[in-house]
Structure 1
Amino acid sequence: MKDPNLPIEGGCRCGAVRFRISAPPIFTSACHCKGCQRMSSSAFSLSAAVPADGFEILQGETVLGGLKQDLPHHFCPDCMTWMFTRPPQIDFIANVRATLCDDTSWYAPFMETFTSAKLPWAETGAPHSFTEFPVEADMAPLIEAYARSVGRAD
């Protein structure tokens, strides 16, 4: 695993909405929950959690979709690409869709979540696996382990 060369930019499928990540990811993940399966039309969704002050929209505006109140999922209003999720209770962008980055060579999922809903054939190669989402007490050690895995100093 490695960190992206920052800043890194990306955008939706049609190019109407563009974003920039200017801070290293907190962690990367693959989520197997039924919601991610349905919203991504795939076996799992791939995400990078990024500090809120390290993420900006460069062009266009997003619209809310999915679970608008509980988990504000941001979509391109033109092509309806699911771009990111910004939970109000935390200070990071929880689900920047990593495959939307122009350069994805840096990306690999560090953990996989909601394996209780995992399709039997779906493999991610993530070194950490959870049947649901990790409990709060596990998050700080996971974030530290992710930083070490990408070569950041302790």
Structure 2
Amino acid sequence: MTEPRAPFAGGCACGHVRYEMASEPMIVHGCHCRWCQRESGASFAVNALIEADRVKVTKGDVAEILTPSLSGIGQRFARCPKCQVTLWTNYLAMRGGLGEVVRFIRVGTLDDPDPFSPDVHIFTSTKQPWVILPPDVPAFEEYFVIKDVWSTESLARSAVLHEAVGTPAP
């Protein structure tokens, strides 16, 4: 079986919005925090972190909605204005000041989400007790040190973003 190649297409439930990711994400998080549980209505969220300029809306338009967040700064949800499915979010308080330039693609909105299983599980201190994490995937009770977990390629991509926004890379 061959690995899928970019671009990776996705969209909402009603078909009004279609998008493409131009490359693989930098990392995929399985986030078990209570905020993600509440916002997704599921036991955890699976988010593919990718540069905003590598995500292109190919059909329709998104409605951006600012929601409260634990940081107090807020989180911006990009949703289909018709069916209200969240396609991605921007965590405005993202570590390192990258909140505007990194999108957290909701993996379940990809046409083929299967290749994008979590590279890391975060905020496992609040995971549902019946969720069993795979033993070969790093898991952290809270967050992690980026340079200890991200691949060399992803760190290089992140460094480019940090340079663009004028913040130090991790």
TM-score, shorter chain, exceeding 0.5? yes
Q: 1:134-145 to 2 correspondence within 5 Å? A: 134=144, 138-144=145-151
Task: Tell me, in whole angstroms, the C-alpha distance in 1 between the residues paired with 2:126 and 2:64.
Answer: 25
Asked if 1:92 corresponds to 2:102, the answer is: yes
- 8 Å Cα contact 2:36-2:44 kept in structure 1: yes
The corresponding residue for 2:57 is: 57
Asked if 1:23 corresponds to 2:23, the answer is: yes
Query: Larger relative contact order (C-alpha < 8 A, sep ≥ 6)?
Result: 1
Change (3 A) 1:99 1:145: farther
Task: Tell me, in whole angstroms, the C-alpha distance in 1 between the residues paired with 2:46 and 2:152.
Answer: 19
Give unpaired runs (5+ residues) of structure 1: 148-154
- Following TM superposition, by how much is the alpha carbon of 1:9 offset from its aligned partner in structure 2, in angstroms? 0.4
Task: Tell me, in whole angstroms, the C-alpha distance in 1 between the residues paired with 2:27 and 2:89.
Answer: 14
Change (3 A) 1:37 1:7: same
Pick from 50, 71, 77: which aligns with 1:73? 77
The corresponding residue for 1:33 is: 33
Task: Tell me, in whole angstroms, the C-alpha distance in 1 between the residues paired with 2:45 and 2:124.
Answer: 12
Change (3 A) 1:43 1:55: same
- Following TM superposition, by how much is the alpha carbon of 1:70 offset from its aligned partner in structure 2, in angstroms? 2.1
- 8 Å Cα contact 1:17-1:58 kept in structure 2: yes
- Following TM superposition, by how much is the alpha carbon of 1:22 offset from its aligned partner in structure 2, in angstroms? 0.4
Q: Deviations over 1:55-80 (max 9, x none)?
A: 11112222233338522121111111
Larger-gyration structure (1/2)? 2
